[in-house]
Amino acid sequence: MTSAPPESVDIPIYIPFPKALYNEIILRFDGAVDPTELITRQARHLLRCKAVPFSLPENLSPGWRLSLLQDLENRVAGHNWEEVFMLNGTKLLLPWRGHCHQARVYDTRIRASGWLFDTVRDWFIFITDADDKDEWKHIQLKRPNKDEDFCHAAQVRQQIVTEPRRIGDITNRSPD
């Protein structure tokens, strides 16, 4: 008598994988990395970050696609990152391991490198693979019509916590 395996057991499945990519992984890492382990780890990482691919409708011409993208960024919307509200178009910069990763607030989400993230934290984890680090110490912001250059997110957060709130701050955004 056979019984069905419990749902918590990982049963391997076969997924066709391009041999050239498999070989490239072996060569690039001098055989020190198992390609199957690498791909499994990357897939888990992607799911943990809740990233989704970003794309505009394909049936639009390039001019319309750019126009739609600009219209969405000019809307008075934004992303709430704890105490800090970032308007559409706010740029984020994350210097990490010799690279400067960039993202932008797009409607209510974070858009970076062809991906959309629900939160700044999700983008930070996607780049750093570090759940235990404080993203406020690493990320820099450049807010539209407010900052001339990038400033540290921790400083912006501290200013917002210490400043009295004014009702007109969000609505008094000048057009680009």
What is the band of 8 on the pLDDT scale with cuts at 50, 70, 90? low
Beta-ladder partners of 104:
91, 111
pLDDT exceeds 60 at position 4: no
Is this model's pTM higher than 0.85 or not? Answer: no
Averaged over 60-85, what is the pLDDT?
A: 66
Averaged over 64-70, what is the pLDDT?
A: 57
pLDDT exceeds 60 at position 166: no
Averaged over 124-149, what is the pLDDT?
A: 86
Tell me the average pLDDT of the chain: 76
